Chain A
Amino acid sequence: MVNERMTSAPRTDPLNLKSLPELDPPEGLWPAISDEMERRGRSTTPRRSWVPLAMAATVAVLALSITLLRPDALPEARLDANDALLRLQAVSAALETQLDVYRDGVVSATTVDAIARMEQELAWLDAQLSESPDDPALWAERIALLGEMNQRYLRADWRSELMLASY
């Protein structure tokens, strides 16, 4: 007996949810999550006062920009080093030198919180490196972190300059 219902049915199961495509999350989702984490972190960490030092910020921004663009900006060790580890250590040292300039610069309360967290991360990495000084992954991580800290200070200084210029 012919089943009338089957004659009009599709051959394959149409309920194939796996065939639906994955969806891309909106661009602003990570910044929203990051901001929320910052906001919650700020409510549990002590704040420092915000002291605008426009001159120091300007000098720091200029120094960083000029130095980063110079090909001979890295320490001498880099020029003689042939292996990747020495190069990583040299880049790390150069970035830390830049960071020292910024550490006395202008930062907002928001940036202080973020930087404080990164300083903790740096301290943890340094503790790891004291146990495994030849681990290139740790050095690479240190370079990425120092780079991000420099950028964070740089952005904070530009914001400060813009705020002061608006007075």
Chain B
Amino acid sequence: MDFSTPIDDRTLAALKRDCRRTQEKVYRTYARSAWTLAVRLSGSEAAAWDAVQNGFVKAFERVAQLERADRFGAWLRRIVVNQVMDAGRRALDPLPEHYDAGVDAPDHDGALDLVRAFGQLDALDRAVLWLHDVEGLTHAEIADTLARSVPWSKTRLSRARAKARDLLHPHYEPTRRALPHGQ
């Protein structure tokens, strides 16, 4: 299950009543996606722990603001992303100098290279690339999530891709193709 998994109206109503059992059920629904997102964006399990914990707590506390149950996942994802980015800003170290490529890194060499290359990007590049390529967000949604503009998102994505490819394989030149998420 990922962030696109909806919750129903009854579940949202129970969350608004601060029902702990429902909160746990909702946590179990989104925990893997939230954890993966936070680890990939922050590059550290300690930072991911804080981001996911604070993200769920904030989501449960502010759930009264949410009107549509089917938007819960997207709303939670936005909160977790903001938690990761805020923590980076607070640490005055937005660059991933301490990115732990070994965090849950797969055994496969190619995948490990990919994790390492991804970790060498800066925090915003990682966020834009991950949100676009893995989470499937459009540039408009990325701009909204990160409080930036659509042109900024497009430029950042292009630059992040080029950097990551260069880190992965300095001699690789991708063939041009239509992007799956244009706007």
B42 CB–A CB distance under 8 Å: no
Give complex CA distance A21, B36 in Å. 9
Stretch from A79-87, A88-96, A117-125, A156-164 contacting the other chain: A117-125
B118 CB–A CB distance under 8 Å: yes
Interface of A is mostly: helix
Closest chain A residue to B112 by CB distance?
Answer: A20
B57 touches A37 (CB 8 A): yes
Number of interchain pairs (Cβ within 8 Å):
111
Please, which residues of chain B bring their CB within 8 A of the CB of A17?
A: 40, 114, 118, 129-130, 133-134
B19 touches A19 (CB 8 A): no
B57 touches A23 (CB 8 A): no
With contact pairs A23-B32, A29-B53, A36-B57 given, residues A14 and B165 touching in the complex (Cβ less than 8 Å): yes
A70 CB–B CB distance under 8 Å: no
With contact pairs A37-B20, A144-B21 given, residues A10 and B130 touching in the complex (Cβ less than 8 Å): no
Give complex CA distance A17, B161 in Å. 11
A69 CB–B CB distance under 8 Å: no
Give complex CA distance A3, B35 in Å. 42
With contact pairs A17-B129, A25-B31 given, residues A10 and B52 touching in the complex (Cβ less than 8 Å): no
Give complex CA distance A106, B147 in Å. 51
B interface residues with partner A (beta carbon < 8 Å)? 14, 17-21, 23-24, 27-28, 31-36, 39-40, 45, 49, 52-53, 56-57, 60-61, 104, 106, 110-111, 113-115, 117-118, 129-130, 133-134, 161, 164-165, 168-169, 171-174
29 A–B contacts from the bound complex (CB under 8 Å): A3-B173, A14-B110, A14-B169, A14-B172, A15-B114, A15-B133, A15-B165, A17-B114, A17-B118, A17-B129, A17-B130, A17-B133, A18-B133, A19-B111, A22-B33, A23-B39, A26-B45, A29-B49, A33-B23, A33-B27, A33-B56, A33-B57, A37-B23, A40-B57, A41-B18, A114-B20, A117-B18, A121-B17, A121-B19
